[in-house]
Amino acid sequence: MKRHLTVEDLARDGRFVRVNMEDRMNDPRNVGGPGAYGRDAAEQAGEGGRAGRVGLGRMVPDAPNAPDAARSLMHGIFVGEIQALEGAGRTCYDFDLGDGADQVPYALKLDMARQCWDEARHCEISVKLTEWMGTEIGEFTESPFLFQAACNPDALLRLAGVNRALEGLAIDVFNTMRDFGDKAGDPVLEFCEDWMLADEVTHVKMGSDWMRKLTVNDPERRARALEFQSVVDKLFSLGGGRSDDEDSPIRLARRFRQMAGFTDSEIDEIAEVSRQARNEAEDRVAARRAAMAAAAGSSPPAS
């Protein structure tokens, strides 16, 4: 078996529909897109949302599209769990043991094997949850972004991109979904998210610990890893949907991130990246609306 796969090598059965990240982000059903799930009626009518803000809002159970929003997010979590499993598995296999940049310590492989088991359970949990929520496998698309980050030839960069950035995001998402389950009166969802959240904190902490251990005498490698992490963080800032705000779609889970080895300034930086992305997203929405209004004004009246 060869080492170092690409996303094209990922094996899936016939139900899965793969799309690239751009297509997924442009899917109007996604959070942040026009007519996105989970917005309240005012937002969907384009008249400004909660707190008078046009744009992104928290997923709330009484929003008209909340069930679909939750199902879409859950399916996204499910395929993310599969890729997390695959990525951790590849890190067990792709490297020789050693201290070189293209090698990994034995204990790191043991951590990755442990993560394999955890992610396999998360797949089991999330596939049952998707069924519980009335979704079929393949009803929503799969973007292989997580596995892409797990293809980096430097194992430390894999940990920075996957464990620190994307699983850090998973902490925020699971925390948000757990609260959603609580508010929606869905104890099964709340229970499952709480358990997965516990494991993700461990995975993020693995990333933080290995970042420290592997770069103790190698500041350049550390800088490269942090840069990669920040690129991934920026890429997945979800159009600014992640912040400290009570009503943001994905709330930054500060306490759990601290448990997982993030410093306060690192969490502040993620919030800042997200704030910038939010401003950009709101500018885009405003521009789109202006263009639609202009187009409507110039079109001939319907007969």
Partner 1 sequence: MPDPKKPRPPFSPWDRRELPGSFTVEETARRVGNYKWVEMRLFEALGGWVATVPELDVKMRLGTHCYKHAWHSELWHKRLPELREMNPDRLTLPPNDAMVEFMEALTAPEGEDKTLEKLVGVYRVLIPHKIAAYTYHLNNTSTITDAPTIRSLNFALGDEFEDWRDGEMLIQSMIENDEDVRRAADRQAELESIMVRAGGITGPGSIGTEEVPNTVEANA
Count of residues that interact with Fe ion, criterion CB under 5 A: 7
Stretch that binds partner 1, among 108-116, 211-219, 226-234, 290-298 (CB under 8 A): 108-116
46 and 54 in contact (C-beta within 8 Å)? yes
Count of residues that interact with partner 1, criterion CB under 8 A: 36
Instruction: Pick one of 91, 152, 229, 243: the residue that binds partner 1 (CB under 8 A).
Output: 91
Per CB under 8 A, contacts with partner 1 among 29-68 are none
257 and 267 in contact (C-beta within 8 Å)? yes
User: CB 27 → partner 1: shortest distance, Å?
Assistant: 23
Instruction: Pick one of 68, 86, 172, 266: the residue that binds partner 1 (CB under 8 A).
Output: 86
Q: How far apart are CA 33 and CA 246, in angstroms?
A: 20
Q: Which of 46, 25, 62, 16 is nearest to 185 (CA)?
A: 62
Tokens of 173: 């998402």
The amino acid present at 78, given as its one-letter code, is F
**What is the three-class DSSP state of 111?**
helix
Partner from Fe ion, partner 1, none contacting 10, C-beta within 5 to 8 A by type: partner 1
254 and 267 in contact (C-beta within 8 Å)? yes
The yes or no reply on residue 235 touching partner 1 (CB under 8 A) is no
Interface pattern 129-168 for Fe ion (x via CB under 5 A): --------------------------------------x-
Per CB under 8 A, contacts with partner 1 among 110-129 are 110, 112-114, 116-117, 119-121, 123-124, 127
Phi, psi of 271 (to 5 degrees): -65, -40
User: CB 81 → partner 1: shortest distance, Å?
Assistant: 10
Residue placing its CB nearer to partner 1 in the complex, 63 or 85: 85
Phi, psi of 63 (to 5 degrees): -70, 145
Q: How far apart are CA 231 and CA 87, in angstroms?
A: 18
Output the CA–CA distances (angstroms, integers) from residue 10 to 5, 78, 143, 171, 288, in the order listed: 8, 15, 11, 25, 36
The yes or no reply on residue 12 touching partner 1 (CB under 8 A) is yes
The yes or no reply on residue 9 touching partner 1 (CB under 8 A) is yes
Partner from partner 1, Fe ion, none contacting 82, C-beta within 5 to 8 A by type: partner 1
Instruction: Pick one of 39, 90, 122, 254: the residue that binds Fe ion (CB under 5 A).
Output: 122
The yes or no reply on residue 237 touching partner 1 (CB under 8 A) is no
The yes or no reply on residue 233 touching Fe ion (CB under 5 A) is no
Q: Where are the alpha helices (DSSP H) in the chain?
A: 21-26, 41-44, 66-93, 106-132, 145-149, 155-158, 167-184, 187-214, 219-235, 254-259, 264-298
Stretch that binds partner 1, among 61-69, 78-86, 128-136, 295-303 (CB under 8 A): 78-86
User: CB 85 → Fe ion: shortest distance, Å?
Assistant: 8
Interface ranges with Fe ion (CB under 5 A): 81, 84, 119, 122, 167, 200, 203
